[in-house]
């Protein structure tokens, strides 16, 4: 079993706001992130897949194929977008880095045919990242 | 759904690696330059990984302000800009980064209850790092 990680970057805006909370509670729980005018980040995404190395190609996964899936499922959908307003997963879910990692996992899992998805790591900042390893 | 969240912190401290039970020659052999009697320092990068179910209302594993508060109050206040050899934790233990990782893990395990502590990773320099996940 070999693990392969592909990295890409995207930039997006978001805010954290739960309509079930009072304004005061939103500010207390989410701090500056509750500002409804939003703010943005340069996100770094690391996608790790695993599998046996194919005897003929020497690949765990066709990188071109993986790149196309990442472009289509993540970058086209999220790069230079407002996560709350333009990404359907966040119509009724807060676009925290935790939920973003889960949403990206779900988008990729169904598209990857050859290798198995092992980990989705999303950096919101160089000093903050979330790992998701699938349902549990 | 369970997610892992990692936060990175920086602190600077000095230390000298020296074991009283070893001879001077043995200390020099074991610790090399790190045995210099006057000590030396590092900018340590600490990564703290916690895990837990993502809360349906907040979308968070835990509140970052709580994690920052605990790491700030219990770890950074204790070890930033100090000589590790002078710290109570290292009275009877060599302040290697292995030992420092373990000490920090146990402090956080005791003090941070809002999520499960998975791992402490400590970079001593850009070239070497140590991880401790508990016994």
User: Distance (Å, rounded) from C-alpha B124 to C-alpha B121?
Assistant: 10
- B1: chain A residues, CB-CB within 8 Å: 102, 132, 135-136
User: Distance (Å, rounded) from C-alpha B132 to C-alpha B82?
Assistant: 22
- B62: chain A residues, CB-CB within 8 Å: none
Place domain A2-132 in its CATH homologous superfamily. 6-pyruvoyl tetrahydropterin synthase/QueD (3.30.479.10)
Asked if B45 and B128 count as a contact pair (C-beta separation under 8 A), the reply is no
List, for residues A88-120, the tens digit of each pLDDT value: 999 999 999 999 999 999 999 989 887 899 999
Contact B9 A93 (CB under 8 A): no
pLDDT over 90 at A136, yes or no: no
Q: What is the pLDDT of residue A114?
A: 72
User: Distance (Å, rounded) from C-alpha B103 to C-alpha B119?
Assistant: 12
User: Distance (Å, rounded) from C-alpha B42 to C-alpha B15?
Assistant: 8
Q: Cβ atoms within 10 A of the Cβ of A68, count?
A: 12
Q: What is the pLDDT of residue A57?
A: 86
Global ipTM: 0.84
How many alpha carbons fall within 13 Å on the CB side of residue A1?
8
Residue A102: is it exposed, middle or buried by C-beta count within 10 angstroms (0-12/13-18/19+)? buried
User: Distance (Å, rounded) from C-alpha B84 to C-alpha A24?
Assistant: 42
Q: In the A/B pair of chains, how many CB contacts fall below 8 A?
A: 60
**Is A86 known to be catalytic?**
no
Q: What is the pLDDT of residue A113?
A: 80
* Interface contact A71, partner B, CB < 8 A: no
Spans of all domains in chain A: 2-132
3-state secondary structure of B114: coil
Asked if A127 and B47 count as a contact pair (C-beta separation under 8 A), the reply is no
Nearest to A93 among B7, B59, B61 (CB): B59
List, for residues A32-82, the tens digit of each pLDDT value: 999 999 999 999 999 999 999 999 989 999 999 999 999 999 999 999 999
Contact A102 B57 (CB under 8 A): no
Residue ranges of domains in chain B, CATH in brackets: 2-11+42-132 (3.30.479.10)
Question: What pTM, to 2 d.p., does this model score?
Answer: 0.89
The residues on B that touch A, with CB distances below 8 Å, are 1-9, 49, 54, 57-61, 63-65
DSSP letter at B40 equals: E
Helix H or strand E segment including A97: helix A97-109
Nearest to A130 among B4, B58, B63 (CB): B4
Q: Cβ atoms within 10 A of the Cβ of A98, count?
A: 28
């Amino acid at each position: 079993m070999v693990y392969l990680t592909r990295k890409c970057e995207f930039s997006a805006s978001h805010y954290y706001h739960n309509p079930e909370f009072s304004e005061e509670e939103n500010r207390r729980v989410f701090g500056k992130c509750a500002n409804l005018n939003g703010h943005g980040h340069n996100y770094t995404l690391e996608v790790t897949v695993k599998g046996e190395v194919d005897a003929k190609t020497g690949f765990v996964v066709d990188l071109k194929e993986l790149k196309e899936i990442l472009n289509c499922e993540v970058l086209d959908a999220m790069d230079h977008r407002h996560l709350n307003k333009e990404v359907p997963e966040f119509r009724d879910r807060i676009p925290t880095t935790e939920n973003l990692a889960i949403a990206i996992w779900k988008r990729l899992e169904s598209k990857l045919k050859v290798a198995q998805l092992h980990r989705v790591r999303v950096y919101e900042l160089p000093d903050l990242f979330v790992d998701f390893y699938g349902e549990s | 759904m369970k997610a892992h969240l990692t936060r990175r912190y920086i602190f600077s401290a000095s230390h000298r690696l020296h074991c009283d039970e070893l001879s001077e020659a043995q200390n020099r052999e074991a610790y090399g330059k790190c045995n210099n009697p006057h000590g030396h320092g590092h900018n340590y990068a600490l990564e703290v990984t916690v895990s837990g179910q993502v809360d349906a209302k907040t979308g968070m594993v835990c509140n970052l302000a709580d994690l920052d508060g605990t790491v700030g109050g219990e770890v950074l206040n204790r070890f930033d800009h100090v000589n590790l050899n002078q710290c109570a934790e290292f009275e009877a233990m060599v302040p290697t980064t292995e030992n420092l990782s373990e000490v920090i893990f146990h402090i956080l395990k005791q003090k941070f209850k809002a999520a499960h502590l998975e791992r402490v990773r400590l970079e001593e320099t850009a070239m070497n790092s140590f991880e401790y996940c508990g016994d």
